[in-house]
Homo-oligomer: A and B are copies of this chain.
Amino acid sequence: MKSKNFTRPLNNPPFINSSACIVGPKEGEGPMKETYDLIVDDEYWAEDTWEKSESKFVKETYRKIIKKANISNKDIDCIVCGDLLNQSIASSFGLRNEKVSLLGVYGACSTMAESMIVGSMMVSSGIANNIVCMTSSHFCSAEKQFRFPLELGNQRTPTSQRTVTGSGGVLLSDKGQGPRVSRLTVGKIVDMGISDANNMGAAMAPAAADTLASHFQIFSPDDYDYIYTGDLGIVGRDICNELIRGEGYNIDSKYKDCGELIYSSEQDAHAGGSGCGCSAVILAGHILNLLKNGDANRILFVGTGALLSPTSSLQGETIPSIAHAVCIER
Protein backbone atom coordinates (compact mmCIF):
# COMPACT_ATOMS: atom_id res chain seq x y z
CA MET A 1 0.00 0.00 0.00
CA LYS A 2 3.01 2.24 0.47
CA SER A 3 3.79 3.29 -3.08
CA LYS A 4 2.89 6.88 -3.74
CA ASN A 5 0.11 7.95 -6.06
CA PHE A 6 -0.06 11.18 -8.02
CA THR A 7 -1.02 13.72 -5.32
CA ARG A 8 -0.92 17.46 -5.85
CA PRO A 9 -2.23 20.72 -4.40
CA LEU A 10 -3.90 22.91 -7.03
CA ASN A 11 -2.85 26.44 -7.86
CA ASN A 12 -5.79 28.85 -8.15
CA PRO A 13 -8.23 26.25 -6.78
CA PRO A 14 -11.27 26.11 -9.09
CA PHE A 15 -14.62 27.26 -7.73
CA ILE A 16 -17.62 24.97 -7.82
CA ASN A 17 -19.99 27.61 -9.09
CA SER A 18 -22.94 25.35 -9.64
CA SER A 19 -24.03 21.78 -9.13
CA ALA A 20 -27.10 19.71 -9.86
CA CYS A 21 -28.42 16.22 -9.28
CA ILE A 22 -31.45 14.31 -10.48
CA VAL A 23 -32.45 10.92 -9.07
CA GLY A 24 -34.95 8.14 -9.64
CA PRO A 25 -37.93 7.12 -7.51
CA LYS A 26 -36.16 4.85 -5.02
CA GLU A 27 -33.42 7.38 -4.32
CA GLY A 28 -36.13 10.02 -3.94
CA GLU A 29 -37.59 8.05 -1.05
CA GLY A 30 -34.25 7.81 0.72
CA PRO A 31 -32.78 9.86 3.56
CA MET A 32 -31.13 12.39 1.20
CA LYS A 33 -34.35 13.30 -0.60
CA GLU A 34 -34.20 16.95 0.48
CA THR A 35 -30.83 17.45 -1.23
CA TYR A 36 -31.78 16.54 -4.81
CA ASP A 37 -32.77 19.06 -7.46
CA LEU A 38 -35.33 16.75 -9.01
CA ILE A 39 -36.83 13.37 -8.21
CA VAL A 40 -38.19 11.49 -11.23
CA ASP A 41 -40.97 9.07 -10.35
CA ASP A 42 -40.50 6.71 -13.32
CA GLU A 43 -37.34 4.74 -14.16
CA TYR A 44 -38.18 5.22 -17.87
CA TRP A 45 -38.71 8.99 -17.53
CA ALA A 46 -41.16 8.74 -20.45
CA GLU A 47 -38.51 7.23 -22.76
CA ASP A 48 -38.93 3.84 -24.38
CA THR A 49 -35.72 2.27 -23.09
CA TRP A 50 -33.71 2.49 -19.86
CA GLU A 51 -30.65 3.55 -21.80
CA LYS A 52 -32.50 6.49 -23.31
CA SER A 53 -33.82 7.32 -19.85
CA GLU A 54 -30.26 7.41 -18.48
CA SER A 55 -29.22 9.72 -21.33
CA LYS A 56 -32.11 11.98 -20.37
CA PHE A 57 -30.84 12.09 -16.78
CA VAL A 58 -27.48 13.24 -18.15
CA LYS A 59 -28.97 15.82 -20.47
CA GLU A 60 -31.32 17.31 -17.88
CA THR A 61 -28.65 17.39 -15.19
CA TYR A 62 -26.30 19.21 -17.55
CA ARG A 63 -29.04 21.72 -18.40
CA LYS A 64 -29.68 22.31 -14.70
CA ILE A 65 -25.99 22.85 -13.93
CA ILE A 66 -25.61 25.58 -16.52
CA LYS A 67 -29.01 27.10 -15.78
CA LYS A 68 -28.23 27.38 -12.07
CA ALA A 69 -24.96 29.13 -12.98
CA ASN A 70 -26.88 31.43 -15.30
CA ILE A 71 -24.55 30.72 -18.22
CA SER A 72 -24.99 29.05 -21.58
CA ASN A 73 -23.23 26.43 -23.69
CA LYS A 74 -21.00 28.99 -25.35
CA ASP A 75 -19.44 29.77 -21.96
CA ILE A 76 -18.49 26.14 -21.32
CA ASP A 77 -14.99 25.25 -22.54
CA CYS A 78 -15.45 21.53 -22.15
CA ILE A 79 -17.55 18.80 -20.55
CA VAL A 80 -15.71 15.94 -18.84
CA CYS A 81 -17.95 12.92 -18.35
CA GLY A 82 -18.49 9.20 -18.59
CA ASP A 83 -20.72 6.44 -17.31
CA LEU A 84 -21.08 2.70 -16.78
CA LEU A 85 -22.94 1.77 -19.93
CA ASN A 86 -20.99 0.06 -22.67
CA GLN A 87 -19.16 2.65 -24.71
CA SER A 88 -20.42 5.36 -22.31
CA ILE A 89 -23.60 5.88 -24.31
CA ALA A 90 -25.47 7.63 -21.50
CA SER A 91 -22.97 10.49 -21.73
CA SER A 92 -22.53 10.50 -25.50
CA PHE A 93 -26.22 10.36 -26.37
CA GLY A 94 -27.25 12.59 -23.48
CA LEU A 95 -24.88 15.37 -24.54
CA ARG A 96 -24.81 14.95 -28.31
CA ASN A 97 -26.90 18.03 -29.04
CA GLU A 98 -25.05 20.46 -26.79
CA LYS A 99 -22.31 21.34 -29.29
CA VAL A 100 -19.73 21.63 -26.54
CA SER A 101 -16.23 20.07 -26.56
CA LEU A 102 -16.22 16.84 -24.63
CA LEU A 103 -13.60 14.62 -22.98
CA GLY A 104 -14.89 11.16 -22.14
CA VAL A 105 -13.49 9.54 -19.02
CA TYR A 106 -13.91 6.09 -17.50
CA GLY A 107 -13.22 5.16 -13.92
CA ALA A 108 -16.29 2.98 -13.28
CA CYS A 109 -17.97 4.32 -10.12
CA SER A 110 -14.99 6.62 -9.46
CA THR A 111 -15.93 8.63 -12.55
CA MET A 112 -17.32 11.65 -10.67
CA ALA A 113 -14.04 12.15 -8.82
CA GLU A 114 -12.02 11.40 -11.95
CA SER A 115 -13.94 13.94 -14.02
CA MET A 116 -13.33 16.55 -11.30
CA ILE A 117 -9.61 15.75 -11.31
CA VAL A 118 -9.34 16.30 -15.06
CA GLY A 119 -11.58 19.36 -14.98
CA SER A 120 -9.90 20.98 -11.99
CA MET A 121 -6.43 20.52 -13.50
CA MET A 122 -7.67 22.30 -16.64
CA VAL A 123 -9.15 25.24 -14.73
CA SER A 124 -6.29 25.43 -12.23
CA SER A 125 -3.69 25.69 -14.99
CA GLY A 126 -5.55 28.53 -16.68
CA ILE A 127 -6.07 26.67 -19.96
CA ALA A 128 -9.83 26.63 -19.35
CA ASN A 129 -12.32 28.87 -17.54
CA ASN A 130 -15.46 26.76 -17.22
CA ILE A 131 -15.62 22.96 -17.20
CA VAL A 132 -18.64 20.81 -16.42
CA CYS A 133 -17.78 17.49 -14.74
CA MET A 134 -20.51 14.92 -14.46
CA THR A 135 -21.63 11.30 -14.59
CA SER A 136 -24.67 9.04 -14.32
CA SER A 137 -25.89 5.55 -13.61
CA HIS A 138 -29.25 3.79 -13.82
CA PHE A 139 -30.43 0.80 -11.84
CA CYS A 140 -32.28 -0.86 -14.72
CA SER A 141 -29.73 -0.32 -17.49
CA ALA A 142 -26.91 -1.44 -15.17
CA GLU A 143 -28.69 -4.59 -13.95
CA LYS A 144 -29.49 -5.53 -17.53
CA GLN A 145 -25.92 -5.01 -18.64
CA PHE A 146 -23.93 -6.33 -15.68
CA ARG A 147 -26.12 -8.94 -14.01
CA PHE A 148 -29.45 -10.47 -14.98
CA PRO A 149 -32.61 -9.37 -16.78
CA LEU A 150 -34.74 -7.51 -14.25
CA GLU A 151 -37.74 -9.56 -15.36
CA LEU A 152 -36.19 -12.66 -13.74
CA GLY A 153 -36.65 -11.08 -10.33
CA ASN A 154 -33.44 -12.71 -9.08
CA GLN A 155 -32.78 -12.66 -5.38
CA ARG A 156 -29.76 -10.58 -4.45
CA THR A 157 -27.00 -11.53 -2.04
CA PRO A 158 -26.63 -9.62 1.25
CA THR A 159 -23.33 -8.06 0.09
CA SER A 160 -24.79 -6.81 -3.18
CA GLN A 161 -25.37 -3.12 -3.76
CA ARG A 162 -28.06 -1.33 -5.70
CA THR A 163 -27.01 0.80 -8.66
CA VAL A 164 -28.29 4.32 -8.13
CA THR A 165 -30.55 5.82 -10.78
CA GLY A 166 -29.32 9.36 -11.06
CA SER A 167 -26.98 11.88 -12.52
CA GLY A 168 -24.94 14.56 -10.83
CA GLY A 169 -22.36 17.10 -11.78
CA VAL A 170 -20.60 20.35 -11.05
CA LEU A 171 -19.41 23.43 -12.88
CA LEU A 172 -15.76 24.26 -12.15
CA SER A 173 -14.73 27.86 -12.85
CA ASP A 174 -11.69 30.05 -12.46
CA LYS A 175 -13.76 32.83 -10.95
CA GLY A 176 -16.74 32.80 -8.64
CA GLN A 177 -17.68 31.86 -5.15
CA GLY A 178 -18.49 28.78 -3.22
CA PRO A 179 -16.45 25.68 -2.43
CA ARG A 180 -13.14 25.11 -4.22
CA VAL A 181 -11.27 22.02 -5.40
CA SER A 182 -7.83 22.41 -3.84
CA ARG A 183 -6.05 19.02 -3.83
CA LEU A 184 -6.20 15.78 -5.76
CA THR A 185 -4.92 12.22 -5.74
CA VAL A 186 -5.09 10.05 -8.86
CA GLY A 187 -5.45 6.44 -7.79
CA LYS A 188 -3.67 3.40 -9.11
CA ILE A 189 -5.21 0.02 -9.84
CA VAL A 190 -5.35 -2.28 -6.81
CA ASP A 191 -6.42 -5.89 -7.20
CA MET A 192 -6.51 -7.96 -4.02
CA GLY A 193 -7.99 -11.03 -5.67
CA ILE A 194 -11.70 -10.56 -4.97
CA SER A 195 -13.70 -12.13 -7.79
CA ASP A 196 -17.28 -11.96 -6.44
CA ALA A 197 -19.10 -9.40 -8.60
CA ASN A 198 -21.81 -9.32 -5.92
CA ASN A 199 -19.35 -7.99 -3.38
CA MET A 200 -17.88 -4.96 -5.07
CA GLY A 201 -17.49 -3.09 -1.79
CA ALA A 202 -14.90 -5.64 -0.70
CA ALA A 203 -13.16 -5.43 -4.08
CA MET A 204 -12.97 -1.63 -4.03
CA ALA A 205 -12.10 -1.11 -0.34
CA PRO A 206 -8.35 -1.80 -0.76
CA ALA A 207 -8.18 0.74 -3.62
CA ALA A 208 -9.90 3.35 -1.45
CA ALA A 209 -7.53 2.63 1.44
CA ASP A 210 -4.53 2.82 -0.92
CA THR A 211 -5.59 6.23 -2.22
CA LEU A 212 -6.32 7.50 1.30
CA ALA A 213 -2.98 6.28 2.67
CA SER A 214 -1.19 7.84 -0.29
CA HIS A 215 -3.05 11.14 0.17
CA PHE A 216 -2.22 11.14 3.89
CA GLN A 217 1.49 10.83 3.12
CA ILE A 218 1.21 14.41 1.84
CA PHE A 219 -1.83 15.88 3.59
CA SER A 220 -2.92 15.13 7.14
CA PRO A 221 -6.26 13.43 7.86
CA ASP A 222 -6.66 16.15 10.52
CA ASP A 223 -7.15 18.65 7.69
CA TYR A 224 -10.55 17.15 6.96
CA ASP A 225 -13.87 17.54 8.72
CA TYR A 226 -15.29 14.64 6.75
CA ILE A 227 -14.00 11.96 4.42
CA TYR A 228 -16.51 10.44 1.98
CA THR A 229 -15.80 7.36 -0.10
CA GLY A 230 -17.95 6.82 -3.16
CA ASP A 231 -19.81 3.59 -3.02
CA LEU A 232 -18.14 0.98 -0.86
CA GLY A 233 -21.46 0.41 0.90
CA ILE A 234 -21.84 -1.04 4.37
CA VAL A 235 -19.51 -4.00 3.82
CA GLY A 236 -16.77 -2.16 1.97
CA ARG A 237 -16.82 0.87 4.25
CA ASP A 238 -15.92 -1.27 7.25
CA ILE A 239 -13.14 -3.05 5.34
CA CYS A 240 -11.69 0.26 4.19
CA ASN A 241 -11.87 1.61 7.72
CA GLU A 242 -9.95 -1.40 9.01
CA LEU A 243 -7.35 -1.22 6.25
CA ILE A 244 -6.67 2.46 6.79
CA ARG A 245 -6.43 1.88 10.53
CA GLY A 246 -3.78 -0.72 9.72
CA GLU A 247 -1.88 2.01 7.91
CA GLY A 248 -1.86 4.03 11.13
CA TYR A 249 -4.76 6.41 10.52
CA ASN A 250 -7.89 6.50 12.65
CA ILE A 251 -10.55 8.30 10.62
CA ASP A 252 -13.59 6.45 11.95
CA SER A 253 -15.30 9.48 13.50
CA LYS A 254 -15.26 11.51 10.29
CA TYR A 255 -15.50 8.75 7.70
CA LYS A 256 -18.72 8.25 5.72
CA ASP A 257 -19.60 6.43 2.50
CA CYS A 258 -22.07 7.74 -0.09
CA GLY A 259 -23.35 4.23 -0.79
CA GLU A 260 -24.16 3.78 2.88
CA LEU A 261 -26.00 7.10 3.09
CA ILE A 262 -28.20 7.06 0.02
CA TYR A 263 -30.76 4.45 1.11
CA SER A 264 -32.24 3.80 4.54
CA SER A 265 -32.09 0.34 6.08
CA GLU A 266 -35.85 0.00 5.50
CA GLN A 267 -35.37 0.35 1.75
CA ASP A 268 -34.11 -3.21 1.22
CA ALA A 269 -31.02 -2.07 -0.70
CA HIS A 270 -28.79 -4.67 1.00
CA ALA A 271 -25.22 -3.33 1.33
CA GLY A 272 -26.15 0.13 0.00
CA GLY A 273 -25.93 2.15 -3.18
CA SER A 274 -23.42 1.92 -6.01
CA GLY A 275 -22.93 3.14 -9.56
CA CYS A 276 -21.32 6.31 -10.90
CA GLY A 277 -24.46 8.24 -10.00
CA CYS A 278 -24.26 7.32 -6.30
CA SER A 279 -21.29 9.46 -5.31
CA ALA A 280 -22.22 12.07 -7.94
CA VAL A 281 -25.65 12.87 -6.49
CA ILE A 282 -24.41 12.79 -2.87
CA LEU A 283 -21.59 15.15 -3.83
CA ALA A 284 -23.74 17.53 -5.85
CA GLY A 285 -26.35 17.68 -3.10
CA HIS A 286 -25.45 16.70 0.47
CA ILE A 287 -21.66 17.20 0.48
CA LEU A 288 -21.66 20.59 -1.21
CA ASN A 289 -24.51 21.66 1.09
CA LEU A 290 -22.33 20.91 4.13
CA LEU A 291 -19.65 23.22 2.79
CA LYS A 292 -22.02 25.94 1.64
CA ASN A 293 -23.88 25.94 4.95
CA GLY A 294 -20.70 26.13 6.99
CA ASP A 295 -21.17 22.66 8.50
CA ALA A 296 -17.74 21.68 7.21
CA ASN A 297 -14.66 23.54 6.05
CA ARG A 298 -12.81 20.84 4.18
CA ILE A 299 -13.97 17.48 2.85
CA LEU A 300 -12.08 14.71 1.06
CA PHE A 301 -14.23 13.07 -1.61
CA VAL A 302 -12.94 9.69 -2.80
CA GLY A 303 -14.64 8.11 -5.79
CA THR A 304 -14.29 4.32 -5.90
CA GLY A 305 -14.53 2.17 -9.01
CA ALA A 306 -14.52 -1.55 -9.82
CA LEU A 307 -12.89 -1.99 -13.24
CA LEU A 308 -14.53 -5.26 -14.16
CA SER A 309 -16.75 -6.21 -17.07
CA PRO A 310 -19.16 -9.13 -17.46
CA THR A 311 -16.64 -10.64 -19.90
CA SER A 312 -13.75 -10.45 -17.45
CA SER A 313 -15.87 -12.03 -14.72
CA LEU A 314 -17.00 -14.83 -17.02
CA GLN A 315 -13.35 -15.46 -17.85
CA GLY A 316 -12.66 -16.01 -14.14
CA GLU A 317 -10.82 -12.77 -13.56
CA THR A 318 -10.60 -10.90 -10.28
CA ILE A 319 -11.83 -7.31 -9.92
CA PRO A 320 -9.18 -4.59 -10.31
CA SER A 321 -10.31 -1.42 -8.55
CA ILE A 322 -9.32 2.20 -8.38
CA ALA A 323 -10.09 5.26 -6.26
CA HIS A 324 -9.56 8.93 -7.03
CA ALA A 325 -9.67 11.71 -4.43
CA VAL A 326 -10.41 15.43 -4.53
CA CYS A 327 -10.31 17.84 -1.63
CA ILE A 328 -13.12 20.40 -1.55
CA GLU A 329 -12.96 23.33 0.82
CA ARG A 330 -14.88 26.52 1.49
Contact = CB atoms under 8 A, between A and B. Distances in A.
Contacts of A99: 3, 188-189
Contacts of A126: 125
Interface residues of A, number: 60
Contacts of A125: 121, 124-127
Interface stretch (A15-23, A104-112, A168-176, A254-262): A104-112
A329 interface: no
Interface string A15-50: 000000000000000000000000000000000010
A191 interface: yes
A291 interface: no
A191 B95 CA distance: 11
A265 interface: no
A85 B309 contact: yes
A186 B102 contact: yes
A192 to B, nearest CB: 11
A101 interface: yes
B51 A312 contact: yes
A87 interface: yes
A315 B52 contact: yes
Contact of A186 (B95, B103, B187): B103
Interface string A100-135: 111111111000001001100110111110000000
Contacts of A317: 93
A150 to B, nearest CB: 15
Contacts of A85: 309, 311
A320 B118 CA distance: 23
Interface in A50-106: 51-52, 74, 77-78, 82, 84-89, 92-93, 95-106
Contacts of A191: 96-97
A78 B311 contact: no
Interface of A: 3, 5-6, 8, 49, 51-52, 74, 77-78, 82, 84-89, 92-93, 95-108, 114, 117-118, 121-122, 124-128, 145, 185-189, 191, 307-312, 315, 317, 320, 322
